[in-house]
Amino acid sequence: MAGDDSTRARWGRFRFSIVGPLLASPPEHGDLQSELKRLAERSWKHPTTGEAVRFSVKTIERWLYIARNQPSDPVGALARKTHARAGSHPSVSPQLAELIFARHRAHPKWSYQLHFDNLRVLVEQHDWLGTLPSYQTICRFMKSRGLRRQKGRRRGGGGEPLETRETRSYECAHVHGLWHFDFHQGSRRVVMPSGELVSPWLFGW
């Protein structure tokens, strides 16, 4: 067991040495993929055999996300044994994944549905983001990366663009966009001119 733990610790430190610079100095927007390719083209000294070894872009990208989601102990997270496809979502392009992280940082209180709706708009506008996966895939991707909704009170008011904030179901952007009516039966009976006692109804529009 001691040897196994030591091996895992070496792998954790080794993986972090590769992706650590990307965490300390994140690439500019749109440059992540080129940085991953640069790292994938390099040869690395295997942590146990000492032989030269290379890793694919997908592998390094997976390590990056694991370390990013465990800021308190990224080395420990990278030391854990993971399945080759653990946490991977082939249908989510690297460009789209980077955008999802950025949108969640900017709007941590948004619901998954609101994130998905805004991603759909952006994907339609920018071909370089690739194809938008299903809503369920986006939810699984965000949950696996620790991108969960932060609870908190939101300010009211309507009329702002969809990307700016979440609009509640009873908010409208224009006059007469929403109508509501209701009835209420009075608790006291009234006397009609004819002398009849009736229960009044209030109609509100």
Q: Is 33 a domain residue?
A: yes
Q: What are phi and psi of 194, to 5 degrees?
A: -80, -5
pTM recorded for the entire structure:
0.41
Q: Are 87 and 66 in contact (CB under 8 A)?
A: yes
Q: Is 109 a domain residue?
A: yes
pLDDT attached to residue 167: 52
17 and 57 co-located in one domain: yes
pLDDT attached to residue 79: 86
Own/partner pairs for 42-48, CB < 8 Å, 24+ apart?
Answer: 44/14, 44/18, 47/7, 47/10, 47/11, 47/13, 47/14, 48/7, 48/10, 48/11
| CA angle (39, 41, 43) in 5-degree steps | 85
Amino acid in position 17: S
- Domain boundaries, position 56: 2-79
pLDDT attached to residue 182: 82
Q: Is 127 a domain residue?
A: yes
Q: How many domains in the chain?
A: 2
- DSSP state at residue 7: H
- End position of a domain, from candidates 51, 79, 107: 79
120 and 60 co-located in one domain: no
- Beta-sheet strands, E only, within the chain: 44-45, 52-53, 182-185, 190-191, 197-198, 201-204
pLDDT attached to residue 77: 87
Own/partner pairs for 181-187, CB < 8 Å, 24+ apart?
Answer: 181/205
d(CA 25, CA 167): 35
67 and 100 co-located in one domain: no
Q: Are 127 and 82 in contact (CB under 8 A)?
A: no
pLDDT attached to residue 117: 94
pLDDT attached to residue 53: 87
The CATH number covering residue 124 comes to 1.10.10
Burial 151-178 (b: 16+ CB within 10 A, else e): eeeeeeeeeeeeeebbbeeeeeeeeeee
Q: Is 121 a domain residue?
A: yes
pLDDT attached to residue 41: 93
Q: Which residues of the chain have pLDDT under 50?
A: 1-3, 82-86, 154-164
154 in helix, strand or coil? coil
Q: Is 202 a domain residue?
A: no
